[in-house]
Amino acid sequence: MIKRVFATGLFSLMASGVGAQARDLPDFTELVEKHGAAVVNISTTQTVKATQGAAPPGSEDDPFYDFFRRFGPSQPREYEARSLGSGFIMGMDGYILTNAHVVETADDITVRLTDKREFKAKVIGADKRSDVALLKIEANSLPVVNIGDPNKLKVGEWVLAIGSPYGFDNTVTAGIISAKGRSMPQETLVPFLQTDVAINPGNSGGPLFNMKGEVIGVNSMIYSRTGGFMGISFAIPIDVAMDVAQQLKSAGRVSRGRIGVVIQEVTKELAESFGLPKPAGALVTSVEKGGPADKAGIQASDVILKFEGKDVGSSTDLPRIVAMTKPNAKASAQIWRKGAIKDLTLVVGEMPDDRIKKAAPTPSKKSSLENLNKVGLMVTELSAEQRKELNIPEGVFVEDAKGAAAKAGIRRGDVILSVNNETIGSAEQLDQALSPKDGPRTVPLLVKRGEGALYVPLRIVPN
């Protein structure tokens, strides 16, 4: 009798608990009905050139079939690569926001709406550093999203994503905000929103909504060891994305501030050694000579605590704050130096554009570029404008790297600055520098890659 009453009472408690939980769970249906039409599918195509062995003569039973398959002459061919992504309409006149990595290599972009209409899209601009791109389609009276304020988000708040994972249009997934202000390796300019919303390939560029139906982020990447969703996804805060989009729309590029310092995190031990009351700020490890920080008097071992009145809680905060400051503007910096706070004023510089305008290929001279061919390098020369953009006096751009060059670690997009500490200014000069001469040898190539430079040892072996 007691067991039965206990069981009945427990069942009643469980039933009432389930009912309370059901009442507390959010209902996304109205949000999706109102705003789903403003989310678009983006498909891109790209013509890729490849080299594939010519079809061997005879059949697989032919004793020479495998020989010709492996060592027969190669012939160039082209194939069409396709990829999928998502985006959302931010203007009734056809402006669409998405990720830069969705469209950066595309030759052709097609935008498909929920009503199955398709439009060819034009890239107004793309910014790799923030992974934001702005597209334009020729259409009017389109459904648009409402823009929210990600600064008002709270960790644990419900959010919803709409996109095209694996090409499944208008797929809806939901979750919560897991964290705010996340920094990714090699990326310190975006304070990412971390969520547990299911994001997969094809979701990139799609919107992240709050429960008010406002876009508060652009789904950008996931953390995964498998290539698929593992419970951690990241979105670009919409205020960051909108600022980038406005600059792309008005100027075609994004202007960011820089002060010319190399920084590191202030650990507890470092804070104690510098006499700081707590580990905070950005520790300056080196200062660019003649740069904005150098001119203002900032020195190595200074700890930057504030910039433009904003607290620098950790070293990752400083690049974001500086980047958002307009170039040539006067800015204030509060530093910690030898146990005391000091206020400085500096004029912010401009971060160089990370785009490299592709040079027209130099006419092939196989006879004179024989050594480049042997190591697997294809290069083009840089124009004066390109060298100025990259802030280098000389150098050649790597169009492709195969064989010994690829094995050494040279990549497409590198700029070869010197060989054996001799500056390289042309393809012919590089070809001569890579001559086998008297026998096998290893030569150091100084290569510019992104913002930095490194030496790559290249092994040269005569035929």
Active-site residues: which are they? 101, 131, 204
Cα angle 133, 134, 139 (rounded to 5 degrees) comes to 145
* Residue 322: closest CA among 306, 342, 298, 303: 306
For 23, 156, 159, the CA distances from 20, given in Å and listed in that order, are 5, 19, 21
Cβ atoms < 10 Å from Cβ of 252: 11
Q: How far apart are CA 340 and CA 322, in angstroms?
A: 23
Please name the residues in contact with 34: beta carbons below 8 A apart, sequence gap of 6 or more: 213
**Cα 269 off chain centre by:** 33
* Residue 217: closest CA among 190, 245, 243, 239: 239
Q: How far apart are CA 356 and CA 359, in angstroms?
A: 9
Core vs surface per residue 123-153: b (16+ CB within 10 A) or e: bbbbbebbbbbbbbbeeeebbbbebbebeeb
Q: How far apart are CA 228 and CA 107, in angstroms?
A: 26
* Residue 136: closest CA among 165, 163, 109: 109
Q: By three-state DSSP, how is residue 373 classified?
A: helix
Q: How far apart are CA 101 and CA 118, in angstroms?
A: 21
Q: By three-state DSSP, how is residue 245 classified?
A: helix
Query: Which pairing describes strands 214-222 and 146-147: parallel, antiparallel, or unpaired?
Result: parallel
The position carrying tokens 């400085």 is 344
Q: By three-state DSSP, how is residue 145 classified?
A: coil
Q: How far apart are CA 332 and CA 329, in angstroms?
A: 10
Q: How far apart are CA 317 and CA 189, in angstroms?
A: 8
